[in-house]
Amino acid sequence: MDDIHYREYKILLRPERFFDPRQFEVFWQKVCQVAEAHKVVAHTNKDGFKRQVREVLFYDTPDYDLYRNAFILRKRTFYTDGWPEHDHELTFKFRHPELAEAAGIDVTPHLQGAADIKFKEELLPLKDKLGGMRSLYSHNCVLLSPGLVLDAGLERIASVFPVLSELCPVSAGTPVSLVNNLPVEEVQVNVGGFDFGHGLIAKATIAVWRDRSTESSIVGEFAFQAKFEHYDALHAKAKARSEAFFLDVQQQVPEWVYLGATKTALVYNFGKLAAVGRE
């Protein structure tokens, strides 16, 4: 569980760029031009611009005890033809810039049912300038429709995820509720993918997060993720090509890029003040 099996590259995008649904295609065309320059094979899915809608809710204590200790608790509900699906996805994660710190956290739940444990390296631009790269490491536990009431209080959450009691102050009666009373509407397209050669293949998405209550845009995101068996087995040339492509996308579309935060930090209203280890 402490071996990285995913590498996800993320670039936040300025929300005002998505004033029209066709902007998904406009941005994708620009990205494909950058890919061609780096001899990266890009493909567009048959239904690559079919928009999928999901509701994303973050839960924490009034003092943000989870977030301040590098934990994230998120519920995601999928919608079909405007109606919420019966099942939802619950994600509990620990995210940190230090690999060893993230690897040492056991997010296994004490709850019946299958848990999907994922360990990822997330590649992000630098906070203050284009053309750079930094890493965050996240240990994720994904559960499908668990019987866990998220606003039942921190003590109940910690009984399901015992690691919280080790790293986070858990007091009886501490409430847990929707962060900033902000329901997020996520509109995403599973647009296509990239082949960097030597077996390194990544799936690409473009998404916009909006305040569900006001329909105002919060931020956009371009991301592509590769899955592999062993991190050390990644081919050096393919890895270098993926990184060079990631860096150049920032340089070629600077008017689209939003620096200084993560999506979660913006929901928490930390914006550009997001602290290391609390993103």
Query: What's the distance, CA 42 to chain centroid?
Result: 22
Q: Is the dihedral of CA 125, 128, 134, 137 positive or negative?
A: negative
- Residue 109's pLDDT is 94
**Which range marks the domain in which residue 200 is found?**
6-273
Cα–Cα distance list, 42 to 6, 39, 82, 199, 227 (Å): 19, 9, 31, 14, 17
Residues of the chain with pLDDT under 70: 1-2, 271-279
d(CA 209, CA 229): 31
Q: Is residue 180 part of a domain?
A: yes
Q: Is residue 112 part of a domain?
A: yes
Q: Is residue 267 part of a domain?
A: yes
Cα–Cα distance list, 141 to 6, 115, 146, 205 (Å): 14, 6, 12, 21
- Residue 150's pLDDT is 86
pTM comes to: 0.92
Query: How many domains does the chain fold into?
Result: 1
Q: Work out the angle between the directed axes of helices 236-252 and 23-37 (0-180°, nearest 10).
A: 130
Q: Is residue 246 part of a domain?
A: yes
267 closest CA partner among 93, 74, 103? 74
For the chain, the residue count is 279
d(CA 166, CA 141): 17
d(CA 268, CA 235): 38
Q: Within a 10 A sphere around the Cβ of 13, how many other Cβ atoms?
A: 22
Q: Is residue 203 part of a domain?
A: yes
d(CA 140, CA 156): 19
Enumerate the H helices of 3-86 as residue ranges: 23-37, 65-68
Q: Is residue 279 part of a domain?
A: no
- Residue 112's pLDDT is 78
Name the helix (H) or strand (E) containing 17.
Answer: none
Q: Is residue 96 part of a domain?
A: yes
